[in-house]
Structure 1
């Protein structure tokens, strides 16, 4: 099939005389490959490495593209590319744990138009290096014209028939049409850096990435966010559902091979912080996960029939490779339909078909076990995933979540959350706040901050405009907290009434203060619309205070008391912080900025909080 596809593509290579091959060997000897990790934002686990060409200037070229263009124009592109692939694969094989990692190799799709193109050479290179065929992801850049669905299909047929994976690189930067991607179903879509740069501050980019995630999961592809350079971009990409991330924030490309390839520390630390907040979803999903035994990809198809006969309640079975990574599913209905066709059993027992499971394999959405239930539910809706979703842990098959299990899991999560939520704002209530704080405070961090928010002049407002309008003011503040603090992974809870709690770690002190003050200023501006025009113009209203005495009250605002928690202490509790914050709130309410911050000191000393100027 691959040979026939080769002849179907016309060759329009320039007819320039080839350069002497040994000169190209000298070029290949001078260049090198740097490796940059591609990481799960849910765990910090390293999925694979992209091989990036380096030292091309030492070989006499102005850019990487110039090297490949010259090879193409002189008729040597295929030979040069194969020498480079060999070099990249050999170096990749020296990585610790290379057999469980994936190699992303940038593939110039003009290679298949060369006259000397021959399938099978990459498979031999991988075999010689002790690697399986599905180790490599061939990255097709959208910067070259791949808008022709048939042309892209030809590429996919060629390489998928050899057992390789395909990734669309630089998605959103060039020529590709959604139809071409939809019809050809790549294994991975890498979103171009342009859409990741500043995504935490750009709503349009956020919407674009959200839609690409939904589209990719609909065709059972994974998404890599390329060029992640800041903590905020990392957290935003994780929140939007990107499966993998890559960029300077995690690691720069390095020619030197890393000593370990299990996890990237900065991503693992952020993932650990997030797990403490989402552990309830994780626990609920695990309790409803269907532990359906998976089949190996080299199984004899005859044994699949035996499997379904022994497991009549299973309607589909996942198929995994030698590393336990899911490849897709085999549906009971389709498999039996094939058997019941004329000569179906005979074809199944034919020795030529006994090791070929591909004809029965169907793609299925895949998600990490730590994906939130909300995201899993969205995947079901967007993909019409009648089979369910395969769940993995560190890339390995874990189980299946079908529609019934998902609905039960969502219902249980909602029931559990309702017990701990504030009924008005649906934010975590006191029990959830204490549970979160106990986990967070027991783990030392270099930078940790707890903030208590309290409304000013809320009672006079409530007396004048009624409790319903007071509830709307509280909901306004809840929305502002969500908009400002979600980008930095704050935990936000509603203590009750007009009191709120927030906690963040691993951000700078100045950054934490800036976020709190932004919350205050946004509330100051937006709450004005809740007053009548006359009161807004006057800047105050007249009413009775808590002492029952008639007085003038300024428009409503919010005071904030921020406690800075010592990094080395693991014995501080929420009760300790509450006592310190109560003292700070009095200072904040009397301050023109309505803000006060302090370092928490040892309980029982003369001064339990060391004041910091607001």
Structure 2
């Protein structure tokens, strides 16, 4: 279609954008997969065919509909089609559909939510299978009803995500002020992240902050395997982008697992480190509440287990929503008419009103990182652990401290008494872990003193011990960083492992070490 034809179509269609969109707009799904396994967690609904209406992008089409006063109608049409397509997928009950929510719809938000709830009910889809992505394109603070709509969506059971995090308006404020489930890090930070230390640092710290708040992180726009590995190493829970799959309109092309992601990221799941063993030993499998349960049934939970002061709360997809503290319902319990109030249909509060966030971490998270997540914000009762993003159990403060102490004790037992470096067990665990670490570059260095026995025989064992201690100090000096491990095999044999550094840099370090 020529530029003149497109312009004519635009002039003709300004008043009939939705009518024309119904004819040419197609629904496309782009998979969002688990970083550790490559299994599909959900799909983002996208529009295709906007160019046939003369628009350069979906955002241009949405802006055009807004200017023509047809944004609500367009959004409802697009979302209804997406929900219908989602409900036709064979595995939709275990997936999440991510739908973009334009904040300019806030004044009409109640109407949109009511329509979608009805549509979901007819399709047999629980609200917890839908995640609304809140864009940072606009300053949401200027919309007085924005907070009301967000709370309404949350209480209705929908999940919420902050889209394009880091490049729009009020990203940190949204994160601070509103209870969201997912954080989608913008592609600006993901592109070339594998070769950019600043981006890796920013993403890693964003992930850590999100996990402390009980929020999962999605890396957007992952296009290469190197970017994917960097995202996984930074702790991103989910990934989306061309490395996984381009958006597709032929839904039969969707796969439940994407092999390229599984190969690059899933092998770590087979590794059983000391941390993993200790965590699995201490995890508590406590009873859970469902967010759609009645408040009256909550009292029965606490009555059956009077020593427990909180229970985890899950949605219909077995994903953690937070925890419910006993003191949140005590006021109703002690009120003379509290129980009668709960039975009153006019009482507007549900279990979701009382749920508070809790830190969340994967079951295979290192113990020290779990401790950082737990202590990142005061007053936490526990860390909620998940496996494949589904609830697995909890770790209390006492259990976490027990894990840390036992790990430190075992590490101390394994340390070489002369040099203080980790011994053979730690070296073995390191090699096992790195052997399953995808395609990341690894440099493994083995050091052996020449003629050490004659040296000991001539100068005595005391001088030999000093030489070993000096070499251990040089190793600590030259091999520094999170990507480095040094150990003492025994006698005059040492080991160093370096991950992710160019071979030339490692060679320079070795030459400097030997020169000393």
Counterpart of 2:302 in structure 1 is: 308
Task: Answer yes or no: is 1:499 the counterpart of 2:499.
Answer: no
Summarize the alignment of residues 328-339 of structure 1 with structure 2, pairs less than 5 Å apart.
Answer: 328-339=322-333
TM-score scaled by structure 1? Answer: 0.71
Q: Structure 1's 439 and 135: CA in aligned 2 closer, same or farther, altered over 3 A? A: closer
2:143 and 2:62 map into 1 onto residues whose CA distance is 24
Secondary structure of the residue aligned to 2:125 is coil
Say what the alpha-carbon RMSD is for the aligned residues: 3.6
The range that moved more, 113-122 or 341-350, is: 113-122
Find 2:364's aligned residue among 361, 367, 370.
370
Counterpart of 2:193 in structure 1 is: 199
Counterpart of 2:59 in structure 1 is: 65
2:23 and 2:330 map into 1 onto residues whose CA distance is 54
Counterpart of 2:408 in structure 1 is: 414
Task: Answer yes or no: is 1:223 the counterpart of 2:183.
Answer: no
The range that moved more, 355-364 or 429-438, is: 429-438
Find 1:343's aligned residue among 316, 337, 341.
337
Q: Structure 1's 412 and 82: CA in aligned 2 closer, same or farther, altered over 3 A? A: same
Task: Answer yes or no: is 1:294 the counterpart of 2:293.
Answer: no
Find 2:261's aligned residue among 267, 279, 284.
267
Contact 1:365 1:385 in 2 (8 A): no
Q: Structure 1's 519 and 498: CA in aligned 2 closer, same or farther, altered over 3 A? A: farther
Kindly state the Cα deviation for residue 311 of structure 1 after the two structures are TM-superposed. Answer: 0.6
Contact 1:420 1:428 in 2 (8 A): yes
1:236 and 1:494 map into 2 onto residues whose CA distance is 29
Task: Answer yes or no: is 1:473 the counterpart of 2:474.
Answer: yes
Counterpart of 2:505 in structure 1 is: 518
Q: Structure 1's 67 and 272: CA in aligned 2 closer, same or farther, altered over 3 A? A: closer
Contact 2:100 2:135 in 1 (8 A): yes
Contact 1:42 1:271 in 2 (8 A): yes
2:297 and 2:149 map into 1 onto residues whose CA distance is 32
2:256 and 2:313 map into 1 onto residues whose CA distance is 24
Summarize the alignment of residues 278-289 of structure 1 with structure 2, pairs less than 5 Å apart.
Answer: 279-289=273-283
Aligned residue pairs: how many? 495
Kindly state the Cα deviation for residue 423 of structure 1 after the two structures are TM-superposed. Answer: 6.3
The range that moved more, 36-45 or 91-100, is: 36-45
Counterpart of 1:28 in structure 2 is: 22
Q: Gaps (5+ residues) in structure 2?
A: 1-10, 456-462
Task: Answer yes or no: is 1:163 the counterpart of 2:157.
Answer: yes
The range that moved more, 342-351 or 52-61, is: 342-351
Kindly state the Cα deviation for residue 406 of structure 1 after the two structures are TM-superposed. Answer: 1.0
Q: Which structure is higher in helix share?
A: 2
2:421 and 2:23 map into 1 onto residues whose CA distance is 60
Counterpart of 1:453 in structure 2 is: 446
Find 2:124's aligned residue among 108, 130, 155.
130
Provide, for residues 189-232 of structure 1, a one-character-per-residue CA deviation record: whole Å limited to 9, x for no partner.
Answer: 11111112233333322332233223323432222121223333
The range that moved more, 345-354 or 284-293, is: 345-354
TM-score scaled by structure 2? Answer: 0.84
Kindly state the Cα deviation for residue 135 of structure 1 after the two structures are TM-superposed. Answer: 1.2
Q: Structure 1's 82 and 520: CA in aligned 2 closer, same or farther, altered over 3 A? A: same
2:311 and 2:166 map into 1 onto residues whose CA distance is 35
1:519 and 1:363 map into 2 onto residues whose CA distance is 44
Counterpart of 1:379 in structure 2 is: 373
Counterpart of 1:325 in structure 2 is: 319
Provide, for residues 156-201 of structure 1, a one-character-per-residue CA deviation record: whole Å limited to 9, x for no partner.
Answer: 1342243322211111112215234311232211111111223333
Secondary structure of the residue aligned to 2:241 is coil
1:360 and 1:116 map into 2 onto residues whose CA distance is 22
Find 1:78's aligned residue among 72, 89, 94.
72
Larger gyration radius, structure 1 or structure 2: 1
Contact 2:165 2:171 in 1 (8 A): no
Summarize the alignment of residues 597-608 of structure 1 with structure 2, pairs less than 5 Å apart.
Answer: none
Contact 2:328 2:354 in 1 (8 A): yes
Kindly state the Cα deviation for residue 20 of structure 1 after the two structures are TM-superposed. Answer: 5.1
Kindly state the Cα deviation for residue 382 of structure 1 after the two structures are TM-superposed. Answer: 0.8
Summarize the alignment of residues 2-41 of structure 1 with structure 2, pairs less than 5 Å apart.
Answer: 21=16, 24-41=18-35
Query: Higher relative CO (CA 8 A, sep ≥ 6), structure 1 or 2?
Result: 2
Find 2:95's aligned residue among 90, 98, 101.
101
Counterpart of 1:145 in structure 2 is: 139
Counterpart of 2:208 in structure 1 is: 214
Secondary structure of the residue aligned to 1:95 is coil
Contact 1:97 1:261 in 2 (8 A): no
Secondary structure of the residue aligned to 1:104 is strand
Secondary structure of the residue aligned to 1:90 is helix
Provide, for residues 563-598 of structure 1, a one-character-per-residue CA deviation record: whole Å limited to 9, x for no partner.
Answer: xxxxxxxxxxxxxxxxxxxxxxxxxxxxxxxxxxxx
1:31 and 1:354 map into 2 onto residues whose CA distance is 39
Q: Structure 1's 243 and 421: CA in aligned 2 closer, same or farther, altered over 3 A? A: farther
Q: Gaps (5+ residues) in structure 1?
A: 1-15, 505-511, 528-553, 557-614
Contact 2:419 2:472 in 1 (8 A): no
Contact 1:301 1:353 in 2 (8 A): no
Counterpart of 1:533 in structure 2 is: none
Contact 1:228 1:249 in 2 (8 A): yes
2:142 and 2:330 map into 1 onto residues whose CA distance is 36
Secondary structure of the residue aligned to 1:120 is helix
Q: Structure 1's 501 and 495: CA in aligned 2 closer, same or farther, altered over 3 A? A: farther
Summarize the alignment of residues 423-572 of structure 1 with structure 2, pairs less than 5 Å apart.
Answer: 429-434=423-428, 451-454=444-447, 469-479=470-480, 483=483, 494-496=488-490, 497=492, 499-500=494-495, 502=497, 515-525=502-512, 527=513, 555-556=515-516
Provide, for residues 117-168 of structure 1, a one-character-per-residue CA deviation record: whole Å limited to 9, x for no partner.
Answer: 5431111222233211121111111122235585541331342243322211
Secondary structure of the residue aligned to 2:162 is strand
Counterpart of 2:114 in structure 1 is: 120
